[in-house]
Chains A and B, each alone.
Chain A
Amino acid sequence: MTMMQETEFDAIVVGSGISGGWAAKELTQKGLRTLMIERGREVVHGKDYTMEHKTTWELPLRNARLSPDKQGAEDYPVQSRTGQFRESTKQFFARDTKHPYEETKPFTWIQGDQVGGKSLIWGRQVYRWSDLDFEANLRDGIAVDWPIRYKDIAPWYSYVERHIGVSGEKLGLPQLPDGEFLPPMQMNAGEKHVKTGVERRFKERHVTIGRVAILTANHNGRAACHYCGPCERGCSTGSYFSTQASTLPPAMATGRLTVLPDSIVHSVVYDPKTHRVSGVRVVDTKTKATREYKAKVVFLCASTLGSTRVLLNSKSSTFPNGIANSSGVVGHNLMDHHFRVGASGRIEGLADHYYQGNRPNGIYIPRFRNLGDAATKRTDFVRGYGYQGSAARASWGRGTSGPGIGVELKRRLHDAGDWTMGITAFGEALPRHENVVTLSERSDEFGIPILRIDCSWGPNEMAMRKDMRQSAIDMLEAAGCTNVVGNDDYKEGGLGAEPGLGIHEMGTARMGRDPKTSAVNGFCQAHDVPNLFVTDGSVMASASCVNPSITYMALTARAADYAVDQLKKRNI
């Protein structure tokens, strides 16, 4: 990763996470000299995974959650709201005091601040979207219709899956298209038990192992998973998808990639004479010096809210409300998946069963509501949800739940305890104009206006949550679980299941056919500026209920292919 003084490139990619890594790989492999700009620090594959494979006793706090009421979270009042923010993972989250924002209502913006972005800490669950999703807005008369359908993106899903490696089980379901899978991971005895019970009672429901961007076999020069468990600490064998493991190596191998860390993009520069963007303005986060880089094409891959912030802050006489925003939709229709609602229960009769190894994956229950037929139609809400979860046997932690000390306690805790199954729903949220991000009057230390986020769940989400909780109870009871308890962590006006916590923020520069009602077209190309592309979650016109990252990858690869073609044809 040479730090060149060069300032002119064929392409600029803003951001180095899931989308940015894919843009850099595709553009360099197609011959473009590319600059990838990352606001955060360098993270070198392997060397900088400082917590990888550390034993608990090597961690002073034994890998404690760093919550807001404890020491260690002082500069992270937002990041510490997620349980993923721990002693072993803190280094991959942004300091909130460095990258602040305002929230009118509770909205938890989880941010990365390093090369690789959130690709280092994501859950790696990958599910293809289907036409049930791409036709949803049209069918329901909500927001704008997607300008693409499943057939447009299906080849790109395959292209992406073949490169990153996805393990999973084929089901042949129209609402959850199969991909090009490596062998599935195994379910444990508890999960198999629940699967049998659920599928016996509910013919239209399926319990399958999670589809995950983690290798169950050696793949493209990367080793199969060794089941150490916590992927989020970094994986030096590259047995999963991250920028460092999967997209950066082939991009670097072209010799055409320059990576520029510690550099935050202030704005995209628009040239009114050519009606094109000429490049980007960047602030060095260490020296605060400003610099401009030029390119023939610019890809914004700075995360949904990051890219939206750049668009809104790129003001000119042509675009007084931000570049690519003649429609005025940029910043509106912010979505996330709503979750932290489900159930858990005890599984009886499997005392002879156990498991070995740390599987970084759980089970998945695909959507079974509103599939387009009368049988699955709901009158209380539109769209649907799926579940993720797992079964496990209790360990020594159960010793804290009641009386008992001494030799008796120690003997008791030597044995594995009861089996428990838990499932958590992930629900589709609707795009709503009033869920909006704008620029605040206040700026960060780099002189860039910060975002003000005003977002909340609507009536459709709240109605859906009731069904998400009840269906979870119903399924666990159908599977013969005892002590089944439903839960819903949502608290009106408070923290618990607030938007943002799902870390699937989407929608604030949506794609569509009409330049008056959307920011980009079906190729993620700005309607207003042909050499500006946005290829992260901001372009999503609806949210589906499945994890979105692989769709960002596929859209990015497709957009890069289109952009290079347009460059060759001298259309941009």
Chain B
Amino acid sequence: MSDGRDITRREAVTRTAMFLGGTLAASHLSGVRGEAWLRAAAPDWRAGTLTAGQSELVATIAEHIIPATDTPGARAAGVNRFVDVILSDYYKDDERKKFLDGLAQLETRSEKELGTPFMKATAKQQLDLLTRIDAESYPPQRVLEKAEPMNSERARMRDSLARQSSTGPTVSDPTRPSADGGGGEAARREAERGWFFRRMKELTLLGYYTSEAGAMTELKVNPMGVYRGDIPYRSIGHAWA
């Protein structure tokens, strides 16, 4: 029920007026997804999409975004494996390619600015570069809202509230285009520049805070049992995962 759980973003929804007679890909949810999860949790895990080098790169970036402190960080939480599941079993070809291109461009930029492949740079060099990229990746909120309304905090919040209210099977609907967010070709172009890093950070936070380490060690899952509507914040002292 937390905001930001949704990992999708707004895309144009193509409408087809007629659903009969289309080519039907076999649904591969239960079987393949189940296997993917077992794969991701197994000690002899092998990525479905990422090469060993890419997987290590993702794990390293993720660990810089959410580092180990007195609690585990993104690497220990298996964020690279989660990213691989998303790339393999969730994204379609174009989105997967866009993400992998983004990873490659990070390498190019590392060579250019640090004079070394990202993985060969020192931890400080890596963090400095990522901090620069992070600072460049967030155009003003209004631009983001126009280009990717469902990546905006406002839209997330609305979705989270709607979902929490559980007022009907359809109250929440995070990725549907919103009427006030459409248009904005210029905004889309401006937002495009930071796309990869924003997505990487989003997947890192999602993968981390919905993992057992993130949801039970760093934070806590809001427990079942009773509902107490108004309690002192200090009696909990942290956000619910």
Residues on A lying within 8 angstroms of B by beta carbon are: 53, 55-65, 67-72, 74-75, 77-78, 81-84, 87, 90, 95-97, 100-104, 106, 110, 118, 121-125, 185-189, 191-192, 210, 225-229, 231-232, 339-340, 344, 351-363, 388-407, 409-410, 413-417, 420-422, 424, 442, 450, 485, 487-491, 494-497, 501-504, 547
Contacts and interface: CB of A to CB of B under 8 A. Distances in A.
Contacts of A55: 212, 215, 221
Contacts of B18: 102
Nearest to B25: A74
A496 B178 contact: yes
A70 B233 contact: no
Given A185-B229, A403-B138, 10 more contacts: A56-B215, A356-B236, A358-B224, A388-B171, A400-B153, A406-B64, A406-B131, A424-B165, A494-B177, A495-B15
A421 B161 contact: yes
29 contacts: A56-B5, A60-B34, A71-B91, A72-B89, A75-B27, A84-B170, A102-B17, A103-B17, A104-B17, A106-B15, A110-B170, A118-B169, A186-B230, A187-B229, A229-B1, A340-B173, A344-B157, A354-B235, A357-B226, A361-B167, A389-B161, A392-B164, A396-B219, A397-B153, A405-B65, A409-B65, A410-B67, A487-B179, A502-B170
B159 A354 contact: no
A356 B170 contact: no
A231 B40 CA distance: 28
Contact of B168 (A72, A81, A189, A502): A502
Nearest to B6: A65
B151 A362 contact: no
B67 to A, nearest CB: 6
A406 B168 CA distance: 38
A228 B222 CA distance: 9
A110 B169 contact: yes
A360 B11 CA distance: 29
Interface string B66-85: 11010000000000001001
Given A96-B19, A125-B168, A64 B222 contact: no
A360 B171 CA distance: 13
Which secondary structure dominates chain A's binding surface? Answer: loop
Interface stretch (B49-57, B107-115, B184-192, B203-211): B203-211
A397 B210 contact: no
Contacts of A53: 224
Contacts of A67: 8, 11, 13, 175
B42 interface: no
Nearest to B37: A60
B8 A64 contact: yes
Contacts of B169: 82, 84, 110, 118, 121-123, 232, 503
A83 B176 CA distance: 8
Given A355-B230, A392-B3, A405-B130, A414 B218 contact: yes
Q: Which 10 A-B pairs have the closest CB atoms?
A: A397-B4, A362-B165, A186-B229, A83-B173, A357-B227, A422-B161, A123-B168, A401-B153, A397-B3, A388-B167
A101 B234 CA distance: 53
A189 B230 contact: yes
Nearest to B206: A62
B237 to A, nearest CB: 8
Contacts of B36: 60
Contact of B225 (A186, A227, A395): A227
A487 B178 contact: yes
A102 B20 contact: yes
B229 A188 contact: yes
Contacts of B211: 56-57
B156 A389 contact: no
Interface centre among B66, B158, B206, B232 (most CB of A within 10 A): B158
A420 B161 contact: yes
A498 to B, nearest CB: 10
A127 B183 CA distance: 39
A420 B135 contact: no
